[in-house]
A = this chain, B = another copy of it.
Amino acid sequence: MTGRLIGIGLGPGDPELLTLKAVRLMRAAPVIAYPLAEGGESLARAIAAPHLPGGQDEIAIPLCMSADRAPGQGAYDRAAPRIAAALEAGRDVAVLCEGDPLFYGSFLQLLARLGPRHPVEIVPGVSSVMAAAARARHPLSARADRFAVLPATLPDGALRAAIEAAESVAILKLGRHFARVKALIEDMGLTGRATYAERVGQPGERVLPLGETGGAAPYFALILIYRGAEPAILASLAAGDAR
């Protein structure tokens, strides 16, 4: 009997934004696995920590972003056999995933390597996009709106076209692209409809109108833009009361 590979969506950072199912399956698993940043910290484990029962075996997956040509690929090539060994011993492995496991998450790396040979269960999680919108009271979408999630790595032309083709946009992975993206949004006349968010639900959270931000942003920061056509919502937002 092989164990199950369980992808646990932990939500954006607040340990209270785990689902009941995530808490239950995570606590019941004899083994947990999680990515470890270069400095030795694991945000995923920190989010999960208040709920861990103690006594679980732990598989840390050290990420070394610079050493691998495709970032993370090598780390998961090395981690997959360690997790497979636990699964083959009949032990469930709960993989701790920030946000949602399948939405820009590295769980895909493990799913591709281990999914074909082991039973899989995935617990969806609250995305940082939804959490940022909730904190800012920023509408994500209504009725027939198109909603686009875009990486800030896109060049200006592609980013502009994608923003113009949707009523609502989330731009992720800002980091060193922040000043360029901010200037593009300003050039498009959309700064007044844009919200900036970093570290939502974590210590150091910052959520504010894009126009009030400075010139730098971390990698895990995002911008939301809403220019949908819901009149009452826009009126409320324009009044500045709904933030």
Residues of chain A at the chain B interface (Cβ within 8 Å): 7, 9, 11-12, 14-21, 23-24, 73, 100-105, 108-109, 111-113, 115-117, 120, 122-127, 130-131, 133-135, 137-151, 153-154, 161-162, 165-166, 230, 232-233, 235-236, 239, 241-242
Contact = CB atoms under 8 A, between A and B. Distances in A.
Q: For the complex formed by this chain, how many copies does it contain in all? A: 2
Main SS class of interface, A: mixed
A108 to B, nearest CB: 5
Contacts of A125: 126, 130
Contact of A139 (B108, B140, B165): B108
A235 B21 CA distance: 30
Contacts of A15: 20
A134 B130 contact: no
Contact of A19 (B17, B162, B242): B17
Contact of A100 (B19, B104, B130): B130
Given A17-B19, A20-B20, A130-B125, A115 B143 contact: no
